Every structure is written in structure tokens, then in C-alpha cells.
Structure 1
């Protein structure tokens, strides 16, 4: 196959990310004597600035790491649900589903703590060393990619009426960000500057990192998060609700290490984060592959991969979750997937078909709707497509349509 992308090689170091400014910043860290972990943390915080439509410091992050001479590990940066986010609480509000947006949908934010923990345990740089790049682009601006402005336009009304502080940043002068025009985020730059000022007197590098984690959990950042969560805000229910996130939730949670989920395939051990990340879906897709694959890129090859993906996703819908143990060993076993593989026929399936690992009956949410394939004259697009966790009233007011 031909490509316009050259093969890249190096003897010093190499960085890859989804945005050139993040890669550039991470490479600068390496050139300044930092290690791969320092570079990863610096690049991540730049991504929060330049790809705000995709991620942020109050989001979540599953991190896979393989220290030199050590075993592969997972750093879980996925926060838990607040203690008050109970079934009874949501039903008491007249809700059958957790709204897809707004403060009721918020988990304890995990990304910042995870990146700081990675820096503390495996890096060599201080918080100021890794945050300076993000501060620079937030304060002085960067040229946004097209999708930033396009995404902001899809939520313009929501920003202008509900998330007014976001409108101040992403709709300056009432205009969405445009390619070629500098986009600034002075509020984020000021937040990181204040954090660094507060931790500067903490002592050595590790003490500063621990102080930064504490500021996030109990300091001025935590206070701002709680204020926002307690503000009634329109969500996908079409009503305004306050969130359940409290100071106790923030103070009690921290990122943690765990063993990865693994699958041995074609001489390689493939590692993913646990079922809380839905990462093992990829491992099951590998387990579903037959010993002999069709020619790469052929129609049969694509068909096999797509149908296997559907089967693994169906098992995700039935078996993944946080409230009970996930039967991961059975889901990745050779015998189970050999049986599942027989479901791949010559035609594409339009059914959601979870399996029964260990003989247990699959359990799907009552909101999982499986439609039989329907032939539509002149319009077969979407016929029989499985739709998961979709309420009968969707789309609902306040629902962002951004992908």
C-alpha cells in the first residue's frame, strides 16, 4: 500500500499525539531533559487547551504505562459516581435515565489527579515545568482546528443560556472560534497560574505535586467545581437540575494503579484498561478472529472485523458495568469466542446479540432497543440499526448533537 506519510525514526525520542502543538510541547520536554512521562503529562495539558471539544482536566483518563524493566500497569483516572448519585435520587427527581448532560451526569473528575500521580511516580519535572506550555497557549492563544468552532456552533444556544462562562471563552464577541484566528482561554491560564503560586512553597518536586493534588481536591478548584455542580442547569431531561457532587466526593477519591486486562494474540500480549474503560472490547475482538484471516483490506476482511466488533459490543452492553463483577475471563476465553464466531454469516447482522459466558443469561437495559432488519424501498440507511440507551423522547431539549 502507498502512503504520503513517511516512516519516522529517531535515536533520541519521538512523540505522537492528536495535535501538533501537544506533540511539539512534549518534544520540548524531552529536549529539556525530561523523560517520557514528563512529556506525556505536558502534552496532555496542552491537549486540554487546543482540543477542548475532546477532553479537559476535569474529565477522565485511562493510562497504560510500561516502565523500563517493569510490568505494564494501568493508571485509573476515571472518577467514581458521587455518593449522592443513587437510583433513588434520580427516581425522586422523576428521571428514569441519568441525563446525558448537565451536573447530574458528572462523575468525580479524574484526569488531573491521574496526570499528577503519573508525574509524581514516574516523572522528573515539577508541576510548573509541565504546565508552562498549556499556560502559554491558553494565555496567548493558538489557532484552533476547524472542529473546535464547528462543535461550539452545535451548542451555541446551550452556552449562551446555560453555560455562560463557557460562552465567554468560546464565543468571544458572539462568534465561534475560526481557523486562523487566535483562541485564548485566560480563565484556564489564570487557574493554572494560581495553582502553581499556591504550591510553589510546598517544598521539593514531589511535595509540590502532592500540594497540587490537594488544591484540586479541597482547594479553590474544588470549591469552584462544587459551586458549578450546585447551580440549576438545563440537561437532557428538558429541566434544570443541580448535581450531586460534593466536597466529600472530591476529597475522598484519588487515581490508582491496577493490573491491565490482557489477551495474547499472534505472539503479542495486548494490554487494555479494565471493563470500567470498555477497553477489553478490543481484546475480545482479537479473540473473535479466526486463525486464518482473509486478505488484508478485502471485503471479507472488513466484514469479519465489523461483525466481530458488533458481537464484542453486544457483550459489552450485557456484561460490562460497575455494580457487579464482569466475567472477563469467560468473555475472553477461546471456547466462548469460538462459539460466538459461528454467528458471523455472509451478510451483515442488524441485531444486538449478547452471549452467555458460563451459561449465564445476558441482561440488557430496558432501554436497549433491538430492531429487526427491515427492507425499505429506496431507503435502507439505518434499517434495523441497534439503538442502545435511547429514550423514547430523544432527541430532548438541551441535548448537544456534537459527536
Structure 2
């Protein structure tokens, strides 16, 4: 069993968990005031725009899985299109082999506001103005700068960082939050949309404005589901890589659980299954094709299981990149659960701000779309780039809630989420043990910008040295990482047979789980 840095939080009623204490407190306050899990999620989302501004924002994307008290599960999927003029010929004419990661060309239409609006319409009990006013007030007053944000400013922007603890008021952002709380559709059709599209066009990005308006259309969708260790795993659908978690689960079910916890045999299987999913994503999948459905067909899964049993698997030529994202999980007193995740893609996204609004735009198009002629995921007008974000809920066959979780971390997400599932379903770890367990990550993955990196298995040094030697002997190129240095910030809430909630936030960031009784 893992040795947790601290025990899980416990509650007989409701619970929240996030990567920042202020965000968790915001969600807990909403629950204590009688709000539900959707209300709490919306409040936490707005707070994290301020507490983790490099990781998420109004100009990013957002996804959620919601499990209702009656067992029904639904999702919202907020990611936008590339520009209408973003044809392969447009980028080729500029001599580009990949889309630049910074600036207007990197941007896809943000989906976060549309997703949050759909989530609100799907079951909130409080108005957005009430839920987002605390964030607007804090933006206007200035939140004390954290060490994480100061480091992000230096690393990603190359600027002198504000002093840790200093307050940086953002009156333009405060005004934008209040305006969008009154009219979230205005992000896509009103003055904000006009200002954003004009700024992008002035910077050379081939937006028409019509694709921006189309980004407002986000409706609830069914989750995609699979099985693992006798439980049902509910995941976000395309353009997210939720299917990659389900594929790994299908390839590892009945194998990893019979190996010792974090044994070389278990890690070997999980690592090679992850490599197969990245190879399939690269070769077959786009946000608007059937590649992921084919990958999950029983015959294909059985053939890949045979390959893994024989010790063979495909390799993918594109490097995993960690990315910057943040996530929350909530369970309310009625048993409603929400797993939510949002991101700007890389730190501070495209590093491009809509003038006069305080809103930084994402670089999801550059991160997720390829300039590879004929590729299923080649950039194209009105095609959503493939995503790294995904979120999940686990139930039993009758629909009873067992676990709700997620983690940020770019292409690490699908791997670390699978590891969390194995920790809790195969080995019975509690949430604190699961989120703090030694983490491992295969490279390469499937981000668009770095091609041809060598295969690696990156392993935190808290994994015993003997296991690392066994993995090297099995043919893995093992690269050590510091203990708790492997990336991610997992959030997890579990429900036991008595209905008691246990939750924990990953010690790799400063998050906290809070019970509300």
C-alpha cells in the first residue's frame, strides 16, 4: 500500500477537491449554503481562473462528467473549432511545418464559456451572477500571487514575476466575469466576440467570425463507457481522449489486478498499453471520424491484448507534453457528482490577450492539430483539434457512485487516470494513497509540435529501485524523476458501502479536499 502524506478527508454528506485551497473553499461554501455539485463546480471554475491563471481561463476549453442522483450520467464538452480560413494551404503558404504555439495562429475558438453555460442549464440551482461574483470581486481586489503563478510567469512569459504574496488587481477581468455571468452567450455573439475576432484577424489568424459564433453551441451529451475490474467507467467523448482511458482499461483488465501493486509486471503492462493507445491516436483518430470507435471494438481489443501478452506493441513518434490544466471534483448531499477539467493548453495558452478584457486565449489549435498532409487530424476549417483533457466517474452496474476523479497533465492524463483506476479498483487504495502513489509516464505520446523523440518510461524515484531495474531489464528506457515530480494534480473522491465520502488532492500541487457536513 502507498504511504499517503496525509489521510483522506472524510464526510457523511458532501465533498469538494481541487488543486488550490481557495477554489476548494469556494466550492465548499456553495455546498454549505445549500447549492448542489453543479453550483459548486461553477463557483470553483471561476475561482481557478484567478488562482491558477496559467492553467485555465475564460479563453480556454472545459469538459465535465455529471452523475445524477438517479444514476443518469451526462457530459458537457466545450472545445471550439479552428478558424474558417485555416486550411492546410494557408499554413503551407507561410512555410510552416507546425502551427506556432504562441500568438493568434495558435488559437481555437474557446469552448469554456459555452461548456459552463451548458453545465449551468443542466441543473444549477443558483444564478451565474451569484456563483461568479466572488471571483469577480477577487479579480478586482487582486489575489495574492502564489509561488506557482510567479514561476509560470517567469517560465512561460519570460517576464519578471510579481513578488509572491503581492496583489495584482485585474479590473478588466473583473468586469468581463460580471458581464459574462449576466450573458454568457455574449462571449460568442456580442461585443466580446467582435473584439476577439478583430484582434485575431489583425494578428493574421484566418478567422471569419462565423466559427466563433458557432462555438456557442454546446449541449449535453452521453458519456462513453467501458468496464474495468467489475465497475463501469464513464468518460468524456470526442474530441477528448476519454476513449484512450477506456482502451487502456480494456487492455489491462484482468491482468494488472493479478500482479502486485506497482510491480514491474503491472507497470510494464500499463506502459505498453499506453503506448498502443498513443499509436492508435496518431494513426487513426480525429475529432470527427470513427477511429476511436474502431479502436474499442471487441475484435480489435482482443487482437491488441494478444500482442501485449506476447510482448509486442506499436510505437508512436510524437512526444508527450505535460501541458497546463486544472480540475475539480465534487459530490453533493444528494449523491450528484461532477468531474470537471479546464485548460488554456500550454501555460498561458497562446500568450495573446483580447484587448480591454483581461482574457488570455488558448493555444489548443497549435497543440492539437497536425500539419501532416492527409492525416485524419490534419488542420481543417470547422474541425476541432484533438484534445488532451478528459474526466471520469465510476459506478457499479446499478449506477451507484463509486469514485469520481481526474487529473491535469497533457498526454499524461490518460495514463495517470488509468493508474488511478487501477489503484482504487484493483488494489483498494484510499484516495490519499491513490493520488500520492508513485507515478510513471510513457514517452512519446501524441502532441503535435515535437516529433521523433526516443521512447522513455519516466518513473518517480519513490518507486523502489529494484522495480526500476526490473523495468529496465524488460526493455524500457527508464528515466528517473524526483519523488512527486512526475506531473499532474489528481483529484479523487470515493464512496464506501456506508455512503461515507473520502477524498484527497494530489500532493504534487497545493490542493486540498474538504468535507461539508
Deviation at 1:347, TM superposition (A): 8.1
Deviation string 1:281-331 (CA, Å, 9 cap, x unpaired) is 111111111523310121222222111111111111112203433241x31
The residue that corresponds to 1:217 in the other structure is 188
Alignment gaps of 5+ in structure 1: 158-170, 200-211, 233-241, 355-361, 367-383, 395-402
Could you tell me which residue of structure 2 aligns to residue 139 of structure 1?
140
Query: TM-score scaled by structure 1?
Result: 0.74
Aligned mates of 2:279, 2:195 — CA distance in 1: 39
Q: Which has the higher strand share?
A: 2
Aligned match of 1:185: 170
Please tell me the root mean square deviation across aligned C-alpha atoms, in Å: 3.2
How many angstroms does 1:68 deviate by? 2.0
Please, which of 229, 252, 260 is the counterpart of residue 295 of structure 1? 260
Is 1:6 equivalent to 2:7 in the alignment? Answer: yes
In structure 2, the partner of 1:400 is none
Deviation per CA, 1:99-141, whole angstroms, max 9, x where unpaired? Answer: 2222122111110111122112310111211111211221222
Q: 1:246 to 1:32 in 2, by over 3 A?
A: farther
Within 1, Cα distance between the matches of 2:79 and 2:111?
5
Post-superposition offset of 1:36:
0.9
Return closer, same or farther for 1:7/1:153 CA change in 2, 3 Å cut-off.
closer
Q: 1:387 to 1:195 in 2, by over 3 A?
A: closer
Contact 1:135 1:189 in 2 (8 A): yes
- Equivalent position SS for 1:83: coil
8 Å CA contact retained: 1:319, 1:326: yes
CA distance, structure 1, for counterparts of residue 101 and residue 244 of structure 2? 23
Describe the superposition over 1:314-356 as per-residue Cα deviations: whole angstroms up to 9, x where unpaired. Answer: 111112203433241x3123432232234447989793299xx
Match of 1:286 among 249, 252, 259: 249
Decide which of 227, 245, 255 is 1:264's aligned counterpart. Answer: 227
The one-character-per-residue Cα deviations of 1:171-198 (angstroms, maximum 9, x if unpaired) are: 6xxx3133333343332112223445xx
Partners of 1:182 and 1:88 in 2: CA distance: 46
**Pairing of 1:151-170 with structure 2 (within 5 A):** 151-157=152-158
**Larger helix fraction of residues:** 1
Q: Is the deviation greater in 2-11 or in 101-110? A: 2-11
Contact 2:275 2:445 in 1 (8 A): no
Shift of residue 69 of structure 1?
Answer: 1.5
The separation in 2 between residues aligned to 1:65 and 1:365, in whole angstroms, is 28
Question: Which deviates more, 262-271 or 142-151?
Answer: 142-151
The counterpart of 1:230, out of the listed 194, 201, 205, is 201
> After superposition, what is the alpha-carbon deviation per residue over 1:49-90, rounded to whole angstroms, capped at 9, x for unaligned?
111111111111121112222521121111122222222322
Question: CA contact under 8 A between 2:317 and 2:451: conserved in structure 1?
Answer: no
Q: Deviations over 1:240-272 (max 9, x none)?
A: xx1123432222232122222211222211111
Unpaired segments of 5 or more residues in structure 2? 319-373, 379-442, 454-487, 489-517
Alpha-carbon distance in structure 1 between the residues aligned to 2:147 and 2:10: 30
Question: 1:59–1:110: 8 Å Cα contact kept in structure 2?
Answer: yes
Contact in 2 for aligned 1:82/1:244 (Cα 8 Å): yes
SS at match of 1:9: strand
Q: Which residue of 1 aligns with 2:512?
A: none
The CA distance in 1 between the partners of 2:315 and 2:146, in whole Å, is 37
Three-state SS of the structure 1 residue aligned to 2:152 is helix
State the Cα deviation string for residues 6-50 of structure 1 (Å, max 9, x = none).
Answer: 232223321111111111011111122211111100100111111
Q: Give the match for residue 166 of structure 1.
A: none
Partner of 2:281: 316
| Structure whose CA Rg is larger | 1
Q: 2:295 aligns with which of 316, 319, 331?
A: 331
Q: Relative to 1, partners in 2 of residues 1:83 and 1:365: Cα closer, same or farther, differing over 3 Å? A: closer
Native 8 Å contact 2:229 2:253 kept in 1 = no
Matched, 1:247 2:218: no
Alpha-carbon distance between aligned partners in 1 of 2:448 and 2:375, rounded to the nearest angstrom: 13
Closer/same/farther in 2, CA of residues 365 and 69 from structure 1, 3 Å limit: closer
Q: Which residue of 2 aligns with 1:75?
A: 76
Write the deviation string for residues 197-240 of structure 1: whole angstroms up to 9, x where unpaired: xx4xxxxxxxxxxxx123211222212212321232xxxxxxxx
Q: How does 1:107-122 map to 2 (within 5 A)?
A: 107-122=108-123
Structure 2 CA distance for aligned equivalents of residues 99 and 343 of structure 1: 37
Query: Hey, what's the Cα distance between the residues in 1 that align with 2:312 and 2:452?
Result: 29
Partner SS for 1:288: helix
Residue of 300, 315, 318 corresponding to 1:351 = 315
Distance in 1 (alpha carbons) for counterparts of 2:170 and 2:212: 25
Tell me the secondary structure at the aligned position of residue 270 of structure 1.
strand
Number of corresponding residues:
332
How many angstroms apart in 2 are the aligned matches of 1:89 and 1:218?
Answer: 26
Question: Retained in 2: the 8 A contact 1:108–1:245?
Answer: no
Q: CA deviation at 1:365?
A: 8.1
Aligned to 1:203: none
In 2, Cα distance between equivalents of 1:222 and 1:364: 30
> Is contact 2:275–2:314 with CA below 8 Å preserved after alignment?
no
